[in-house]
Amino acid sequence: MTSTEGVALQVDDVYVPLGLVERKKPSKRQGDISPEQGSELYKETEITKTFEHDAFLEEVLKQKNTPKSKGKRIAIIGEPGAGKTTLLQQIADWVSREIDQSIVIWVSLADLREKELKSYLFETWLTQVAEKTGKAKATKQLKNDFVALFNQNNVWLLLDGLDEMSASSGNPLTEIARQFREGGLISQARILLTCRVNLWDGSSNALDDFDTYRSLDFAYPQQVEKFIHKWFAAIPETAKQLCTALKESGKERIQDLVKNPLRLTLLCLNWQSGDGKLPDTQAGLYQQFVDDFYKWKKDEFATNSHQRQQLNIKLGELAKAAIDKEATRFRLRQDFVKQFLGDADDENSLLKLALNRGWLNCVGIDTNRKPFYAFFHASFQEYFAAKAIDDWHFFLNHVPKNPSQGTYRIFEPQWKQTILLWLGREEENLNQQKQEFIDALVNFKDGCRKFYEYRAYFLASAGIAEFRDYFKADEVVTQIVKWTIDSQSLIKEEASSALQQTDRTKVIAALVELLQSTTVDDSTRITRIQAAYRLGQIGTGNEIAIAALVQLLQSTTVDYSTRRQAAESLGQIGTGNEIA
C-alpha cells in the first residue's frame, strides 16, 4: 500500500514493542452492594504491574509466571487498532524460535464461522497441512501424530479476534469457553487469544481462568516519535516535520489519538501523501485516510468523484447493517453484501470496485462455497457505519415509561467506537445534533437507581474528546474529576476509567485548578494529593501539568505528603523536561 508513495516497509521495519498491563478481578466484597455498582463489582480492574515486550515473553510465556493459569491461558485485550494482532504475530515468531518443540497454530476466529474450534483444527487446518505435503486429505497417521502433539503439551493455539467470532448464543466469550471445556485435547494446548476490550469488559466473562493483559498505547513522545522516525527512515526530514507538528500548541488531542498504533500508521500515511495538516479527531484522521486511499491505486483503478461517493455511501449502509444485525459483524456473507454492493461477477458493480480498491477483501468461503468478505480493518467498518448515520436517535430514543419501545444502542458495546467516530465527524450541519445527543446522555434518567445514568454519562465524557464544542463540556469533565477524587464515591473506579477517555486538556485544567486552591484544611489537602496523583496518570509530556506540579513541589505552604506525591507524579510525566 505504501510502495506507490515511495515507501516499502515490512512490519519489522516499524514495529515498536507494546507494553502490557496485567489485570485481575477484585476480591468479592462482603455484605450488600449499591445498585450503582451492579455487575461492575466483578468487572476486571487493572493493577500496576506492567511488562515491557521482552519481559512479557520471558516471564509470562517462557517462565509461565502468571497468577491464574501458570502461563497456559493468556488473553491479550485492547482497543481497536491497538496492535493486538501484530503483537500476537510477534509472539508466534518468538515461540517458534525460543520454545523447544513448540507447534504454533494460528487461527483467525472469524474464519470458524459455524464450525467449532476442534472441528476446524482436525478437519480444515489438518487438511491444509496434508495438502502441503502432497496428500489430498489428512491420513490416519497424520491425525494420530497431531493428537500426540497435544498429549505432549507441545501445541500453542494462537486465537486472533475473539470479538469477531460468530456465536449462536450472542456472546463469543461464553461460546469459546464451552468449546474449551468440551474440546478434549484442546484443553491440553497453551492458548493465547486476542479480544477487544469492550467485549471483554462489556459482558459476563466466562473466561475467568485466563490471565488477562491489556496492550498499552505507545508512549508519547518516546515511542510515537521512534515509530515515526522508523517509518520515514529514508526521508528523515519528513519525520522531523511531523514530530514538530505534533508538538504544536493545541495538538494535544491528536497526540493522544496517535498513541494507538493503527491511527499512528494512518497519520504517517496521511502525512506523506497529504498537505501537512493534522486532523483533530479520530473521524478526521480516518477521513484523511479515505481520501488518500483512492489516490494510491488511481492509475490501476481509476474512479470519478461520483463513483467514490456512491461507494462510500453503500459501504456505510453495509457497515451499519452488519454491526446492527449480522451474527458475524466483521465477516460478511456474500448474499448479505450483494444487497448493498451488487455482484462481484459484474465488472461495473460497486462490490467489484470495493474489492479492487481493497476496502473489502475475500477472507474465506462458507460450506456452500460462497465467499465471505471483510473490511480491510474492522475500525474502518465502524468509520463507514458512522458516516451512514445522520440522526442521533439511531443511538438513543429514550422511552422512560416503556423502554421496550425505545432504542438503546448506547448501552451495546459494539456501538461505542461508531458513536465516538460519529461525534468526530466534521460536517457542520451535524453540530446541533451532536449537542442534542450529548445533552441527552448527560441528562439521561433510567429509573433504575442510576445504573444506566452513569453509563450514559461516561459515554458523554468520552464523546467530548471527539466533539469538544459541547456547551457543557467543562461541567462534565469537572464532574468526572470529582467522582474520581472523592474517596467516598461508589463509582470512583469507573470514573477513573472515564477520565482516561475524555478530553485530556480539560481534565488537566480541572486538576490544576484543584492543585492551586488556596483553602487550607484536611479535605483540601486530600483533594490536592489526589489531583497530583491523577496528573501523574494522564499528564505525560504536558507542560501545563508539569509546571503545576513543579509549583506545588516548590511551595513552602503545603505539607510533606502533598509535595511527595507531586514529586512522584512529576517523575512519571516529566521525563525529558528540563524544568522537571
Q: What are the residue boundaries of the structural domains of the chain, listed by start?
A: 17-215, 222-296, 305-387, 428-573
| Residue 318 near residue 341 (C-beta atoms within 8 A) | yes
The region that residue 450 occupies, defined by phi over 0 for left and psi between -120 and 50 for alpha, beta otherwise, is: left
Bridge partners (DSSP) of residue 364 are 372
- Intra-chain end-to-end CA distance of the chain, in Å: 42
Contacts for 519 with CB less than 8 Å, ≥ 6 apart: none
Q: Distance between CA atoms of 373 and 209, rounded to whole angstroms?
A: 33
* Angle formed by the axes of helices 261-273 and 236-246, nearest 10°: 120
Contacts for 225 with CB less than 8 Å, ≥ 6 apart: 243
Q: Distance between CA atoms of 256 and 500, rounded to whole angstroms?
A: 10
Q: Indicate the pTM of the whole model.
A: 0.69
Q: Distance between CA atoms of 37 and 454, rounded to whole angstroms?
A: 10
Q: What is the pLDDT along the chain (580 residues), one digit of tens a residue?
A: 454 445 555 666 556 565 667 765 543 333 322 322 322 323 445 554 778 888 889 999 999 998 889 999 999 988 777 889 989 999 999 999 999 999 999 999 988 877 899 999 998 899 988 888 888 788 889 999 999 999 999 999 999 999 888 887 778 899 999 999 998 889 999 999 999 876 787 656 789 899 988 887 888 888 899 999 999 999 999 999 999 989 876 677 678 778 888 888 888 988 887 777 788 788 888 888 788 777 765 665 678 889 999 999 999 999 999 999 887 788 888 999 999 999 988 888 999 888 877 788 777 777 777 888 888 778 889 999 999 999 999 999 999 989 999 999 999 988 999 999 999 998 999 999 999 999 999 999 988 888 899 999 999 999 999 999 999 999 999 999 999 988 677 888 899 989 988 998 999 999 999 998 877 678 888 999 999 999 998 888 888 999 999 999 888 888 899 999 999 999 988 877 777 7
Q: Would you state the CATH architecture of domain 305-387?
A: Orthogonal Bundle (1.10)
pLDDT at 519 (0 to 100):
77
Could you tell me the three cell numbers for 198?
469492550
Residue written as grid cell 476442534: 118
Give the three-class secondary structure for 437. helix
Cis omega (within 30 of 0) on the bond before 221? Answer: yes
The CATH fold assigned to 17-215 is Rossmann fold (3.40.50)
Could you tell me the three cell numbers for 217?
498505547
